[in-house]
Copies of this chain bind each other. A is one copy, B any other.
Amino acid sequence: MPAKVAINGYGTIGKRVADAVALQDDMEVVGVSKMSPNFEARLAVEKGFPLYATTKDVLPKFEKAGIKVHGTLEEMLKEADLVVDATPEESGFKPAYEKAGVKAIWQGGEEHSLTNLSFNAAANYADCLGAKFVRVPSCNTTGLIRTLYPLDVHFGIDHVLAVMVRRATDPGDSKKGPINAIEPELEMPSHHGPDVQSVLPKVDIHTIAVKVPTTLMHLHAVSVQLKKKATEREVLDAWRRAPRVKFVKGAEGVKSTAQIMEIARDLGRLRSDLYEIAVWEDGVHVVNGTRLYYFQAVHQESDVVPENVDAIRAMLELEKDGRKSIEKTDRALGIAG
C-alpha cells in the first residue's frame, strides 16, 4: 500500500511536490490544502487532488468561489502518514503536526533549528532514515550542495566563495520587483553559507547574494579552492557521476538562463521545470591546478522537488538506499540517469 502524503500549502513548491508524489508508485497524495480559492485551487480540484481549506475561517471564501473542499487541514492530517509543509516561512504548523502525530518535511524558508536535520539526497540520505521532522534546504542551498558535495568527495574543498545572482520573483508572480535595479544583500555572509553547512558541516563557505529583475533562475558564480589538484575534465567527470547535475554549453547557443529554461521546455518537462542544476560545461575553469571557477543556474521553482520525494522515502523508510531512491525518483520525473 502506498504511503500517504499530504501537502500543506499548494503554491509554487507545494503543487510541484504534489505532482511529483503522484508520479511515484510507492506513495500517493491524500490531500492538498490552501488558504485561498484562486486558480491554483480550481486546477487542483480538476487534477483530482482532494482539496482542503487550511483553516476554518477561510471556508466561506471557498464556498463563495464555488470550489468544494473536503474539510480543513486538521482533517487532512488524519489521512496522512507524512505532511509536506510548503507554506510561507514561519507559518508555525509544527504543533498541529505534532498533535496529529504525522511526520513532516519543511522547506528552506525555515531555519535548520526547526528540525535540526536538513536533507540532501546525495549527501545525507542515510542520516534521515526514519526521521520525524526534516527540512529540505532552499533552492539555492540545494543547488550549491549538488555541485559542492561531489567536489568535496573527490578533491576535498579548502574553501568556497559563491556569489549568487538571484532572480527577484517567480514567473507566475506580478507584484514584486525590482524592475530596473540590482540589489545587494548587505548582511554578510548571506544565510546560504551557514545553510550549506547544515548538510555539509565541514565545508568552509562564504556566500554573497545579489537580487536582479528576472524571474527564471538563480545564477551562481562559484570559486572553490580545492585541496587536491584537478583538471577541468576531472571536475566535469565528478559531476557527471553525481545526481541531478546537467551540462549546458555556451557554444551550442545556451548563453543565459533564458536558453536553459528553453531546453527544459523542449524536453517536455511538466511545467517546463528543470530539476537538475545546470552547469556551463564551457564555463568551468581551473587555475593553478586547485582554484576552480564555475557558473551554475538553479531553477528555483523545482530543484528541491525530487529532494522532497527522496526525503519522504527516507523518513518513511520506503527505501533504505539513497542511491536507489534517487534513481526511482528521477525515473518517475523523467530526469536522465
Contact = CB atoms under 8 A, between A and B. Distances in A.
A148 interface: no
Interface stretch (A95-103, A258-266, A319-327): A258-266
A256 B293 contact: no
A257 B217 contact: no
A289 to B, nearest CB: 15
A229 interface: no
Contact of A265 (B38, B169, B263, B272): B272
Interface in A155-200: 161, 163, 165, 167-169, 171-184, 186, 188
A172 B258 contact: yes
How many copies of the chain does the oligomer comprise? 4
Contacts of A293: 188, 206, 208
Nearest 5 A/B pairs, CB to CB? A172-B262, A38-B253, A181-B258, A174-B178, A183-B256
Contacts of A290: none
A212 interface: yes
Nearest to A270: B268
B257 A182 contact: yes
B165 A174 contact: no
A165 to B, nearest CB: 5
A212 B39 CA distance: 22
A285 interface: yes
Query: Per DSSP, are chain A's interface residues mostly helix, strand or loop, or mixed?
Result: mixed
Nearest to A67: B252
Interface residues of A, number: 74
Contacts of A15: 266
A280 B169 CA distance: 24
A37 interface: yes
A248 interface: yes
Given A38-B252, A206-B287, A271-B272, A171 B213 contact: no
A169 B42 CA distance: 31
A165 B210 contact: yes
